[in-house]
Chain A
Amino acid sequence: MNTTVLILLPLAGALSIWLFPWRNSATASSFALLVALVELAYWVGTVLNFDFSRGGLHFETDVEWFSDLGASYKVGLYDYSLWLVGLTALVTVAAVAYGYWAGRERPGVYLSLFLFLEGATIGVFTAQDLLLFYVFWEAMLIPLYVLIGVWGGAGRLGATIKFVVYTMAGSLLMLVAVIALGLRNGTFDMEQLGTSANGWIFLGFAAAFAVKAPVWPFHGWLPDAYREAPPEVSAVLSGVISKAAAYGFIRIALPSFPDPLADWRVPVLVLASIGLVYGSLLAFRAPDVRGVIAYSSFAQMNLIVIGIFAANDSGLNGALLQMVNHGLISAALFLVAGAVERRAATGQLALLGGMARGRPLLATVLITTGVIALAVPGSSAFAAEFLVLNGIFDRGWGWAVVGAVAIVLAAMYMLRLISAVLHEDVGSAVPERALDLRPAEIAIIVPLVAVLLALSFWPAGITDRIFLAFGP
Chain B
Amino acid sequence: MSGFQTPSLDWAALTPELVLLAGASFVLVVALFLSPQYRRPFAAVVAGFCFVGAGIAAGILFSMDESGTGIVADALRRDRLAELAQVLIAGSGFLAVLVSYEEPEGEDRIGEWYALLLSAAAGMAFFVAADNLITLFLGLEWFSISLYILCAISIERLPALEAGLKYLIVGSFSSAILLFGSAFVYGATGEIGFEEIARAAGEAERLFFVAGLAMILVGLAFKASAAPFHMWTPDVYQGAPTPVTAFMSGATKVAALVLTMRVLVVAFPGEEGLWTIALAVIVCLSLAWGNLAALVQTDVKRLLAYSSISHAGFLLMPVAIGTELGGRALLYYLMSYAAMSVGAFAVVAARERELGRPVGFPELGGLGWERPFLGVAMAVFMFGFIGLPPAGLFLGKFYVFSAAVDRGWTWLAIVGVVATVVSIYYYLGVVRAMYMQPGEMRLAPAGGSPPRDVALHTGVGLALLVTVGSFLVADPLIDIARDAVDLLAFPH
Interface of A toward B, CB cutoff 8 Å: 18, 64-69, 106, 131, 135, 138-139, 141-142, 145-146, 149-150, 156-157, 160-161, 164-165, 168-169, 172-173, 175-176, 179-180, 182-183
Contact = CB atoms under 8 A, between A and B. Distances in A.
B401 A175 contact: yes
A452 B400 CA distance: 47
Interface stretch (B165-173, B311-319, B409-417): B409-417
A175 B390 CA distance: 16
Contacts of B482: 68
Contacts of A150: 435-436
B406 interface: yes
B474 A65 contact: yes
A19 to B, nearest CB: 11
A60 B356 CA distance: 55
B406 A176 contact: no
Given A145-B428, A176-B413, 11 more contacts: A65-B475, A68-B478, A135-B389, A139-B390, A156-B436, A165-B421, A172-B387, A172-B420, A172-B421, A175-B417, A180-B410
Given A131-B398, A179-B413, A183-B405, A68 B386 contact: no
Contact of B402 (A67, A106, A172, A179): A179
B425 A165 contact: yes
Contacts of B414: 176
A161 B425 contact: yes
A258 to B, nearest CB: 23
Contact of A66 (B410, B420, B431, B474): B474
Contacts of B390: 139
Interface string B382-407: 01001111100011011101100110
Contacts of B405: 176, 179-180, 183
Interface of A, secondary structure class, is: helix
B432 interface: yes
Nearest to A145: B428
B176 interface: no
A250 to B, nearest CB: 23
A138 B398 contact: no
Given A138-B389, A168-B421, A149 B436 contact: yes
Interface in B403-447: 405-406, 410, 413-414, 417, 420-421, 424-425, 428, 431-432, 435-436
A172 B478 CA distance: 23
A168 B386 contact: yes
B475 A66 contact: yes
A138 B386 CA distance: 11
Interface of B: 328, 369, 376, 383, 386-390, 394-395, 397-399, 401-402, 405-406, 410, 413-414, 417, 420-421, 424-425, 428, 431-432, 435-436, 474-475, 478, 482
A125 B328 CA distance: 31
A182 B403 CA distance: 12
Contacts of B424: 164-165, 168
Given A66-B475, A157-B436, A179 B421 contact: no
A157 B388 CA distance: 20
B328 A68 contact: yes
Contacts of A131: 398
A65 B392 CA distance: 13
A160 B369 CA distance: 19
22 contacts: A18-B376, A64-B475, A65-B475, A131-B398, A138-B394, A139-B388, A139-B389, A139-B390, A145-B431, A146-B431, A157-B436, A161-B428, A164-B428, A172-B417, A175-B398, A175-B417, A176-B405, A176-B413, A176-B417, A179-B401, A180-B410, A183-B406
A183 B413 CA distance: 14
A393 B388 CA distance: 41
B478 A66 contact: yes
A168 B425 CA distance: 11
A149 B430 CA distance: 13
B435 A149 contact: yes
Nearest to B399: A69
B420 A168 contact: yes
A67 B475 contact: yes
Contacts of A149: 431-432, 435-436
Contacts of A138: 388-389, 394
A154 B436 CA distance: 11
B475 A173 contact: no
B170 to A, nearest CB: 34
Contacts of B387: 172
A176 B389 contact: no
A395 B302 CA distance: 57
Contacts of B395: 66
A68 to B, nearest CB: 5
Interface centre among A66, A139, A150 (most CB of B within 10 A): A66
